[in-house]
Amino acid sequence: MMQRKGILLLLALVLGFSVSGWSQAGVHKNMVQVQGTFGVGNNFHEWKYYVYGDLGFMASDHIEINGVIFANLGSSANDLTGVAEYISPNLFGQDYRTHSLFFGPRYHFMPNQPFDVYALVQPGVTLVHTQTVQSVGGFAAEPARNGLAPVFSVGGGLAYYGSFFHLFGETRFVAGGYYNEAYSIPLNEIRLAFGLGFNFN
Amino acid sequence: MSLQRLLIMAVMVMGMGSLLPAQGFYQGGSFALGVRNTANLFTEDGSAGIGAGGQFKIGFGPKVNTEWFYDYISSKPADFGFRQDHHIGWSVQFAPFKQGYGDKAFVPYFLGGQCFDLTRLRTQRSNGPLYDSGQIFSAAVQVGVGVSKFIGPRLELTLQGQYMVHLGKDAHFHQDEITGLNEVEVHNETSLAGHLLFTFSANYYLFNLWK
């Protein structure tokens, strides 16, 4: 019974958002948008593959308060020795993942029309996880590590809005570095994300 | 990517902001939440790095604003190892010219404030000895200059540079003369040590506390 009420309430909410936004096109004040898709990154050494998600609220016609998550699924190279700045024999067989969280404003240049261009500046943090992918005789020379690295990002994107959905493409430059006592990993990277998003008007 | 290039990018973002319209929303009592990136430069032992954090701001008048911040800064010395700083503090930002904050133009300001810091240095080469300073607490004061630009009525971008002087135990990286390797040195006597910080922040003004 409670479940049915919950579903009905959810449907009513979705319908309410939809009807209220039927005649609206483009970004505008109080709009909420959600995007979940895939992304790629390139750090001039390898390609990295991400699941990308973001949630934003339009505080005015131009300004969106937005949070973004990048979850790293893997990369085209499986070797830390090509990336880390200090090369140690201990790094043989080590790989790493970088999961990022960004938060900050996006500025939309073309509100209330289907086509939009936006710019973003978002500080964030990257969780760096190193792991052994190839051990020697069952022995991992370097322990698995988890570390949090502050990062800076700047970028922009294009979007085309329908009543409920929008298509978008976004690029951002990420700068930062992960440092531990033994080695460091540059986190400078260009990331791209593209796909379909929902907008609740 | 050098930190100098990052600073140039931050200046370019501020410059792009000048092309966008702005109206004055800011006044005494305005409360804002913001996010920030800080570049740590010219630490005495050569460490440099990037930080991220957040802040809230409370305006006390047209020309007097305050920021209450937290930064997590991760830096790397010239050789290997790392330095972590957790800064929590506050600054008063005084804009002496024109009509104060919220003006359409870039608004320069002076700042001064106080900060508490937890610092940790660690380094280890291959399977050599691990040098770890442990967490070191210090108190600091900072002074600097900055520029504020409102983009729209409520979004403020700031770029500021400040010199922060810490009073506490001195911990720094030291290169061993014989091995040439980095070590961590901690002096138990209290002393002054400083570093130069550049901070870019984006702040959104939510409401007025006085009204």
Higher local confidence (pLDDT), A183 or A68: A68
What domain range is B39 assigned to? 3-208
The C-alpha of A4 sits at a distance from chain B's nearest C-alpha, in angstroms, of 37
Helix (H) or strand (E) holding B191: strand B182-208
Nearest to B63 by CA among B19, B18, B111: B111
pLDDT band at A21 (very low <50, low <70, confident <90, very high): very low
Spatial distance between the Cα atoms of B118 and B106, rounded to a whole number of angstroms: 34
Percent of chain B with pLDDT over 90: 47
In a domain, A121, yes or no: yes
- The Cα–Cα gap between B33 and B203 comes to 5
Residue A170 covered by a domain: yes
For residues A28 and B188, the model is more confident at: A28
Residue A187 lies in a domain: yes
Write out the residue range of the structural domain in which residue A71 sits.
25-200
Give the tens place of pLDDT for each residue, A59-70. 999 999 999 999
Q: Which of A152, A153, A180 to mutate: most B Cβ within 10 Å?
A: A152
Domain-embedded: residue A87? yes
The answer to whether residue A19 sits within a structural domain is: no
Q: Chain-wide mean pLDDT for chain A?
A: 84
CATH code for position A106 = 2.40.160.20
Distance CA A106, CA A159 (A): 13
Question: How many domains would you assign to chain B?
Answer: 1
Q: Where do runs of H (alpha helix) occur along chain A? A: 2-20
**Would residue A16 count as lying in a domain?**
no
- Which CATH number covers residue B10? 2.40.160.20
Please tell me whether residue B157 adopts helix, strand or coil conformation.
Answer: strand
B59-73 pLDDT tens trace: 999 999 999 999 999
**Could A60 and B51 be called an inter-chain contact, meaning their C-beta atoms sit closer than 8 Å?**
no
- How far apart are the CA of A112 and the nearest CA of chain B, in angstroms? 16
